[in-house]
Structure 1
Amino acid sequence: MPGRPGPDIPLPPRGAEDDRPALPTTGGEREILTAFLDWHRATFELKCRGVSPARLSDRAIPPSGLSLHGLVRHLAAAERRWIRIHFAGEDLPLLNSSDEDPDQDFEQLGGDVETAFAVWRAERDRARIIVAEAPSLDATCRSPLTGQEMSLRYLLIHLIAEYARHNGHADLLRERIDGTTGL
């Protein structure tokens, strides 16, 4: 689809221009919602671009335990939980967390950062396919936590809000890591 980032956003060197596609200002609801979600996904990746793997795990804003590494683990888990497990009904374990330890994705940063990004990209790409193949934004699933019915429209808006919130965190983390702002 024109105007949407591909499955792997190229990583130009730090200081390169913003390569996110322009957001549509007209079009169908699905097109606009998925474009905004993809824009936020690309924004997160842009905020991490050019940071060394070792620095991605920095918890740069004490007393917060947030790091870019933890955020990518959390966003991969959110893609899996909301789209693959809840909406598509795929029988998968939770990723990077559990009901007993819901903050594990932020707190336990063992493992390779590049692997964490590869997992996030795979979850993001699978979620894109599920959303594209859904019959409509009115398709629903039930929350296993509350039993409440949720539409795909609601889930997309929820993910947009999730990314927007964490992109704000990523802004602050990136500024503390190397002074980069305005991504």
Structure 2
Amino acid sequence: MVDTRIPPPYIADERTMLDKWLDWHRETLAVKCAGLSEEQLRERSAPPSSMSLLGLVRHMAHVERVWFRIVLIGEDIPRLYKAPDDSDADFNRVDEASTEEAFTTWREEIAHARRISAGLSLDAIGHAQHRGRECSHRWILVHMIEEYARHNGHADLLRERIDGAVGT
């Protein structure tokens, strides 16, 4: 695995710290997926879980879209990879999914999120509620760091089971 991540600074203002940690975790998922074939990216290597690295990429594209575009700025756009009969279609429906499309969509959603985030104060309040509660931009950034960190732990295990690769 080639690791091109830039470590977050030890000392920085709050905004820089949050942005750099989120970018670190975004790139950690990319590192975990690097160098694998389409079949390996689809592999559900830790049964009985339906998770795969491709499913994680699809899920994180969905999460980026929901939190930054739908919740934070109130865009009226569809959610990604949802199916009426499968709320976890992002994870479950990877057998025929395009890896190129998934990675392109994920990177595009990250780019959207960065542009949105750059233009807002950390104290900005989202336009849509989550579970009946308002969310600040700051809360969303912290949540995204947590979301990536949790799923990067899954990615560590999946990758190790696929080809034995380990590392941070």
Shorter-chain TM-score tier: over 0.9
Match of 1:51 in 2: 36
Structure 1 segment 127-142 matched on structure 2, within 5 A? 127-134=113-120, 136-142=121-127
* TM-score normalised according to structure 2 size: 0.94
Sequence identity of aligned pairs in percent? Answer: 50
1:78-135 Cα deviation digits (max 9, x unpaired): 000011111011111011125763211111113211110000000011000000011x
Match of 1:7 in 2: none
Match of 2:55 in 1: 70
Q: Secondary structure at the match of 2:16?
A: helix
Distance 1:99 1:31 in 2: 39
* 2:17 aligned residue (14, 29, 32): 32
1:36-94 Cα deviation digits (max 9, x unpaired): 00000010000100111111000000111100010000000000001111101111101
Is 1:167 equivalent to 2:152 in the alignment? Answer: yes
Match of 1:117 in 2: 103
Distance 1:100 1:137 in 2: 36
Q: Is 1:142–1:148's contact at 8 Å kept on the other side of the alignment? A: no
Match of 1:155 in 2: 140
The runs of 5 or more residues in structure 2 that have no matched partner are none
- The structure where helix makes up a greater share of residues is 2
1:145-179 Cα deviation digits (max 9, x unpaired): 53311100000011000000000000000001101
Q: Secondary structure at the match of 1:169?
A: helix
Q: Secondary structure at the match of 2:69?
A: helix
Match of 1:10 in 2: none
**Shift of the alpha carbon at 1:24?**
1.1
Residues 99, 81 of structure 1: alpha-carbon distance in 2 compared, 3 angstrom cutoff: farther
Match of 1:87 in 2: 72
Q: Is 2:73–2:127's contact at 8 Å kept on the other side of the alignment? A: no
Runs (4+) of structure 1 exceeding 6 A deviation are: none
Distance 1:133 1:173 in 2: 36
The runs of 5 or more residues in structure 1 that have no matched partner are 1-13
